[in-house]
Amino acid sequence: MNHKQMLKVFAVPVSAAFIMGIGHQVVLADETEQPIDATETVDTTTEQSTTMDQSPIQQQDVNASATVAPQQTSNVWIGQQGYASLEEAVKNSNDGDTITLGEGRFTLYNSPNIQSYTKGKSLTFIGQGIDKTYWGIGATVPDPSKFGTEYNGDYSFDGAKTVTFKDMTLQSKAKIDYLGFIRIDDTIVEDCKINGKTFYWGYKTATFKNTTFDDTDTDYAIWTYSSPVMTFDGCTFHGAGKYINVYTDYSTGKENRTVNINNCTFITQKHNKSALNINDSNMGNYKYYVNFTGHNVTEGIQPHTLTCSPLFGFSNNKNNSGRLVVKMDGVPIWQDAKMVSHSIDTANDKYTDGYKDDAFDYTYGEWVKQEDGSFKRHVKRVCQYCGYVEEYDEIKAAPVKPTEDSKSQETPASKTPTTVNTMSKVTPNKVNAVKATTNDVDTSVQTNIGLSILGVFAGIAGILGYRKKNK
């Protein structure tokens, strides 16, 4: 078998095998590019949908179980026992009981002889939220003939020990004076909203926690009227520039009175008065003590022209009689009818706002050289908010003369050595350097080849000359 015949024999099977291999590769490629089974995609989507749908429902069920009363046929409960009305629940209550209220509006105002069932008791009332449970303080429509007296007040808890309200809205009439709960020892209001102006709360203490004071139109939200100690903790006040009136004529000159403000916010769209408007003129031998702690925020209230703070101030100079002590984070900032200092740093704040904002107009004197070589000038700064004037001397130290040692260590500018970039001169560009080296090699090779050729030709010429000579 010659060469051509052998090629023909082997060509057929090799070609077949090659074609089969290509076909197999095409089949495999088609199998790997098939889409994922549709049932798996559906299952995954269904699982995610179930998870997203179940979670809010479960959360709602948990919340509902926490607030839904034990017996749906009643709207007032003490524990698991339901009652037909708030009055019935109070009449059957014991000292220390918690009474749960459902949705709707409740009041004990003018309930016959209800004081006999609340006197001497501590009771807690818990609603379903500020937008679901409402408690009316006093009459829905106060008697105009009794305006200016306490007789529009609510005597439902006259003689009670501690009365606590949680998770509800307490409603009063905004423009009527002397409203509130008459003669409770202590009141606690937590996680509530209070609509309207009130005067009477605890006759010993009144505490408001996380409570919003709202809907006061153009009037105060509350007076510190009946409570010797009143505390506002984490409260928010929405008003038209009037919030807390620190004043009483009920206990005039009878006792010291304390107001605590901690982490509260006072918001208005129209500036009128300070967050606390104070009148201490009738305190006799006693004083008001106002304590600001934490971070108290004001929005829309301008600093008072006397106190240089939006947190407290006076309607007029007569109301600032020296019977007020104000502390910020435990540091005295106001006493004896004047500020302790215009610039005070406390743990959480600064007093005053002029100092806090650096709102000063400065006047500088001329620098005067002193005997020791220093310079001094007189500085006067005036607060832009309250006009408070501070004067002080500013000292500038004498210039330091250089010593002999310092001179020897110094290098004159004219003798400063210049650093030369030698690398850039030797090898400015690495690529060019490589090219130059390559060119040198090429030239050397070319030279050697030329010399070798010349040597060959010289050798041939010598041989030919030798042969000719011999002939």
Quote the pTM value.
0.70
366 and 352 in a common domain: no
Question: Nearest Cα to 200, choosing from 170, 174, 225, 169?
Answer: 225
Copy the structure tokens of residue 342. Answer: 């215009």
Report yes or no on 318 lying in a domain: yes
Q: How far apart are CA 201 and CA 187, in angstroms?
A: 6
Q: What is the pLDDT along the chain (471 residues), one digit of tens a residue?
A: 444 444 444 444 434 444 344 344 333 333 333 333 333 333 333 333 323 333 332 333 333 333 444 445 689 999 999 999 999 999 999 999 999 999 999 999 999 999 999 999 999 999 999 999 999 999 888 888 888 888 889 999 999 999 999 999 999 976 788 999 999 999 999 999 999 999 999 999 999 999 999 976 778 999 999 999 999 999 999 988 889 999 988 777 789 999 999 999 999 988 889 999 999 999 999 999 999 999 999 999 999 999 999 999 999 999 999 999 999 999 999 999 999 999 999 999 999 999 999 999 999 999 999 999 999 999 999 999 999 999 999 999 988 877 666 555 554 443 333 333 333 333 333 334 333 444 444 444 454 555 555 555 555 555 555 444 443
385 and 344 in a common domain: no
Per DSSP (E only), the strands in 269-311 are 276-278, 288-293, 297-299
For 269, residues 6+ apart whose C-beta sits below 8 A from its C-beta are 240, 300
CB 140 within 8 A of CB 112: no
309 and 281 in a common domain: yes
369 and 329 in a common domain: no
CB 279 within 8 A of CB 317: no
What phi and psi values does residue 350 have, to the nearest 5 degrees?
A: -130, 140
For tokens 């082997």, the residue is: 10
Q: Give the pLDDT of residue 150.
A: 84
343 and 291 in a common domain: yes
Rg of the chain, C-alpha, whole Å: 47
| Burial of 128 per CB tally in 10 Å (0-12, 13-18, 19+) | middle
In what helix (H) or strand (E) does residue 344 lie, and over which residues does it extend? strand 344-345
Q: Which domain holds residue 288?
A: 216-358
260 and 227 in a common domain: yes
In what helix (H) or strand (E) does residue 404 lie, and over which residues does it extend? helix 404-409
387 and 343 in a common domain: no
CB 69 within 8 A of CB 78: no
Of the three residues 305, 340, 358, the one that is the final residue of a domain is 358
DSSP assignment of 206-264 equals EEEES-EEE--TTS-SEE--S-SEEEEES-EEEESS--EEE--STTTTTS-EEEEEES-
353 and 275 in a common domain: yes
CA-angle at 77, arms to 74 and 80, nearest 5°: 100
Q: Give the pLDDT of residue 358.
A: 96
CA atoms within a 13 Å half-sphere pointing along the CA-CB vector of 301: 29
DSSP assignment of 172-190 equals --TT-SS-EEEEEEEEEEE
377 and 304 in a common domain: no
